[in-house]
Structure 1
Amino acid sequence: MFLSNLMKKLTNKVFSKILITYSATILLTMFVLLLVLSRYYTEVIIQKEMDASTRTLERVEYYLQRKDEHIKNVMQELYLTRDLIFNDIAFALQSDYDTYLSYRLDMYSENSSFVPNNLNTFFQAYFSQDSDINAVSLKSTSSDTEYVYIYNHYKWNKYMDKKMPEKENLTGHLDDLQLQQVKWEQEKSTFNNIQISRAINDPTTLKKLGDLTVFYDIAGMQDLIRLRKSQFKGTVHIFQRDGNYLYSSDNGNSTVPEPLKNLAFETNFKKVKWNGKNYYINTVADDYMGYLYVGFIPENDIKKATIVHKYMFLSTVLLSCIAIAVTYFAMRSYSRRINKIETAIHEVQGGNLQIRIPDSREKDELTTISESFNDMLDDLNMYIKDVYVLNIRQREAEMKALQSQIQPHFLYNTLEAIRMKSIADGSKPTSNMIYSLGQLFRYSLSSKEIVQISDEIQHVKEYIGLNQIRYPNRLNVTYEIPETCLDGKILKFTLQPLVENYLIHGFQKETNHNELLIKVQRIHQDIEIVIEDNGNGIPLDKLLAIQTKLVEGATTSEGSIGLSNVHQRIQLKYGQEYGIQINSIEGEGTRVDVRIPAARREQIQHV
């Protein structure tokens, strides 16, 4: 019951939920990582052992190939010594032992040299230097005659004791060639010797005369394997291509392990199960000599890394506990701070607006929330204190707004009364100026944000008309506005500031050749308005400054506030691809291009 209540209490807290989730994630991740690393480590160890096995087998293969290469060289020398192959060896293999001895004595008596050239000298010259050779056999194909030259009598006798327990057929041990008339070669198993044979053919007829067999002691190969034992685990076995079992490093055990029977003659690696245990078999096939070298390794010998696996497991558990403990203590601190924030919120809900969350030295999101919460309460208290004052000020502002609406109407009505008085008094120019000024005020009082192009053009005409009355015959204005563009929509007060900018800075009062062009045209889905004059123009450095500030969206110089205002209003309304562009040549004139979208309902709002 206690554990149940504790778990329920923990799961009701957000940080406890996070801790449980985080802990479960850490444990799962660490143990998955342990499993992956364990398998990977095992595979690495197995691969390392297989590589060591392969290197050992290749060393054994190289060892026997060197022996075979030596015999090959001996055979070449044998055939190159024509007197020996034709006169001595060929005669020995085709005759019985007594006949051959008589022949040797005759040849020796006829030879002028004191050094005989026969089987004894040849075997002594080419085989006596290799301490691994136990004996060399020269056996006839046409008869049972066999000549055996023994180099290591002790090892050879032990070998013969195993092969022929009854020795009555053995002619005895001589210092030179020994004749054996027994068929011991039929016994193929040679666990104390590795034999390598080569056929001897008649150099003239190529007819096979016999076989030269060299019996190598396995001690040298065992020493080689023993030196590799620190790196290689398991046993080495050698088979002939036909499956005959030649050698085992397992203390001379001549019994073929069941998994090694009927192995394919190929270089391969496989895993087998035998007597409830796993074994790895690594094979190297020597096509030249016809030997199959086999490494036989029990899996239990490879997996000596069990203690490493235990250390990995303990390390994983320890690191997981440390990670969970660090997380717990870190999150407990955050949990306490969250509880303070939660308590303060409940106090505010209860009506206590004087509560504050204590400041923390931590600079994180919870500190930001606490500070924002305290600032909110300060602002709330300030708002409660000032609400009545704000209400009074709001009413005063509303009254002033009503007054500001009344004053322009009063001014417009007063201008209209003055205009009527001017007409009555016969001052028509004054009347026209008052009328134009009154139309400008009327346009200004309109609450629309978007107007028709025709209205904006009319407003510009009224403004230009005032200046034409002021400077008669000094300004000539040309309007190129198609009828199809008059119904287009445009922001209010777009063109008048641009014309005003010209009249203030570009208009030449001393000449009557001032020309102003106002042109409206539609280009695809946009409307372009051109205001071009032949006035004073703008100096290059000032023009570059104005163009740069228009691109950057900054307010231009004091003399070009109208340009900046119009440009920013257009871009805010329609987007960055619209606005104004200005180009000017000092002393020749200025051109301002205004680009706005054609009336698109999704972009233009009527106010």
Structure 2
Amino acid sequence: MYNKLLFIYTAVIVCVVLALMFYFWNSTRNSYLERNQEYLHRMHEEAVEYVNDCRDISTYLHEELYKSNMEMNDLLHYLTDAPEKYQEYRLDTYSQYKLLDYNGIEDFSATAFEAYPSLKRLAFVSYSKGDLTSFNGSKSIYRREDGDVALERIKSGNLAESGEFSFLKEIRDPLNMQNVGAMIVTFHAKRFGNILTAYNLPELIIYNESGTLIYASCSDCKVEEIEKTEGAAELEEKLNAYIQSTNLENYHIISYLKKAKAAEIPFSIMIMIAGVAVAVFLISEFLVNYYLKRVSARLNRILDGMTQVMGGDLTVRLAAEKNGDELDVIACHFNEMCEKLDLHIQKSYLAEIDQKNAEMSALQSQINPHFLYNTLEAIRMKAICNGDSEVGKMLYSMAVTFRSQLKEADIITLAQELHYCKKYLELFEYRYPSQFKSSVDCPLEYMQIPIIKFVLQPIIENYFIHGIRMRDKDNFICIRVEKTADDYEIIIEDNGRGMSEKDIREKNRQLTENVMEKNKSIGISNVNRRVKAVYGNTYGVSLEQVETGGLRVILRFKPEEDNENEKSNDC
């Protein structure tokens, strides 16, 4: 038994540990998946925010340019005038207004670079002259070159290059709103790399509408293949990754996380889960082994005691270890059994003699009910022969009532029960002549309904004991049968002394709870208990107060088809 239990418990422990391992592994996997998806969302939001910030900076610089008349006029002359004429304009302005500090496009560019470190290049393109001037961080360092390439890129809308992205702002003359040139604000793309370093697994791709790749964290990213996909669902299926995509003006920002890596658990965590599982298994196995050894030792002591008792030694006693479990109960009962068995063996001879004497006494005092029934029949016939028909009727009614309790089956028809009830009432008519009347009303179609016998006589007897008014001559009791849905009711109503409402409520409570109080009449309670036992707790006996005085007893039952096979055919 020890080996069997150890094997069963070990198998259970293995299953539990494996289930826990799977649960924690799956829980950890889901946790890493949720965390990496959150990282993907954060990284994407930061990348989009950076592009939005750069766009806002370019818009702000464009607005600030229009707010400064000196810088705006300087830029307009720079874009439209020849170099010599532009320098002449600057000298005339300086001398005319006697300015200590002249602010031109060089000062504007230097201020922009100081305010925004993410700014890589600020370029101005002249549409009339076709040249390009680029500022790279200092007002004294700029480059003036041919602007044909820039103009072509402006027309195509492809201002971005690898590692940088730009925003185009048109320059219009405030007086006539004519386009004189454009300002190209270029930003570093290295910030995307700084964002990506905070998140290990997600990848980031940024390109423009022309297909120029601005930034890619993966070396094998191909913009052409990404552009061929239609929608995020197809791209997610193609990359086998979780995708987040945002289109901002003509820039596409795509962040993705490979599904194979999204829920990947670090090797150290897997080793830790396995180590904890092994530790739990070893501890559980040790505790189970210790417990089974103790239980096995106690069982062996009980088996040894039983073996000694089988050998005839009834002085064996087992030690109850006060654990309060079933084995202690078995040990206590075993000790008690040995004591009683020893006492029984010692007294067996005297007990056998007492038993035989008791059986002899019972045989001598036994009354044969059939002999009593036959004797009543003989007395009735003698009374009829002597011309005393009234005594004969009384004896007949008594014999029928007595016979119903001896010969009939437990289940009889309603007609039989009512017939015995009439005979029982006839006995009381002889006993109380001209003091009460009785009636029995039952539709013919209900006569063959099966019912347990001896349910009406105790209720009628209860009326004659407690309800009848002996000084009056107008006593009556009526019995009628009614049907309600699938149930039947036998109603016994009288005009006797009745009961108070308080007593009726208390009696109905006892009948509903199936309570039988000691030292009190048990006629109705006995009938109620038998009806509930046969037909169920929803049926039984209940009492009601009659408006004109008296008591109404309602016996509710539901006949079963199987009971019809047991009913008697004697009516």
**Shorter-chain TM-score range:** 0.7 to 0.9
Change beyond 3 A, Cα 1:182–1:325: same
In the other structure, the counterpart of 1:405 is: 367
Q: Distance in 2 between matches of 1:279 and 1:466?
A: 99
Highest RCO, 1 vs 2 (Cα 8 Å, sep ≥ 6)? 2
Verify the 8 A CA contact 1:108 1:116 in the aligned structure 2: no
Q: Distance in 1 between matches of 2:414 and 2:295?
A: 63
1:317 to 261, 278, 292: 278
Q: What letter is aligned with 1:15?
A: L
TM-score by length of 2: 0.73
TM-score by length of 1: 0.69
Change beyond 3 A, Cα 1:587–1:421: same
Aligned residue for 1:593, secondary structure, equals strand
Verify the 8 A CA contact 2:483 2:489 in the aligned structure 1: yes
2:477 to 516, 519, 536: 516
Change beyond 3 A, Cα 1:76–1:340: farther
Change beyond 3 A, Cα 1:546–1:211: closer
In the TM superposition, what are the counterparts of 1:114-513 in structure 2 within 5 Å?
114-115=98-99, 121-125=104-108, 127-128=110-111, 130-131=113-114, 132=117, 136-143=122-129, 145-147=131-133, 151-152=137-138, 197-201=168-172, 208-213=179-184, 239-244=207-212, 257-259=219-221, 262=224, 264=226, 287-288=248-249, 290=251, 306-344=267-305, 357-372=318-333, 389=351, 393=355, 396-397=358-359, 400-401=362-363, 403-406=365-368, 409=371, 413=375, 416=378, 420=382, 446=407, 448-451=409-412, 456-457=417-418, 459-480=420-441, 490-513=451-474
In the other structure, the counterpart of 1:156 is: none
Change beyond 3 A, Cα 1:599–1:405: farther
Verify the 8 A CA contact 1:525 1:597 in the aligned structure 2: yes
Q: Distance in 1 between matches of 2:331 and 2:479?
A: 61
The structure with the largest alpha-carbon Rg is 1
Q: Distance in 1 between matches of 2:128 and 2:384?
A: 158
Change beyond 3 A, Cα 1:234–1:355: same
Q: Distance in 2 between matches of 1:412 and 1:453?
A: 26
In the other structure, the counterpart of 2:156 is: none
After superposition, the CA RMSD in angstroms is 5.4
In the other structure, the counterpart of 1:50 is: 40
In the other structure, the counterpart of 2:542 is: 581
Q: Distance in 1 between matches of 2:276 and 2:450?
A: 77
Map Cα deviations across residues 243-302 of structure 1 (whole Å, 9 max, x no partner).
Answer: 445579x9xxxxx934366574799899999xxxx99998875633647587999x99x9
Verify the 8 A CA contact 1:550 1:556 in the aligned structure 2: no
Q: Distance in 1 between matches of 2:517 and 2:566?
A: 28
Aligned residue for 1:128, secondary structure, equals helix
Aligned residue for 2:544, secondary structure, equals strand
Deviation at 1:553, TM superposition (A): 1.7
Map Cα deviations across residues 284-339 of structure 1 (whole Å, 9 max, x no partner).
Answer: 75633647587999x99x99955455444433433333333333323333333344
Map Cα deviations across residues 396-454 of structure 1 (whole Å, 9 max, x no partner).
Answer: 43762564234883697389569948975x87766765666566555555475445556
Q: What stretches of structure 2 of length at least 5 have no aligned partner? A: 154-158
1:113 to 97, 104, 110: 97
Map Cα deviations across residues 343-393 of structure 1 (whole Å, 9 max, x no partner).
Answer: 555666677666555323222334344445555566666666666635862
Q: What stretches of structure 1 of length at least 5 have no aligned partner? A: 1-9, 154-174, 251-255
Aligned residue for 1:500, secondary structure, equals helix
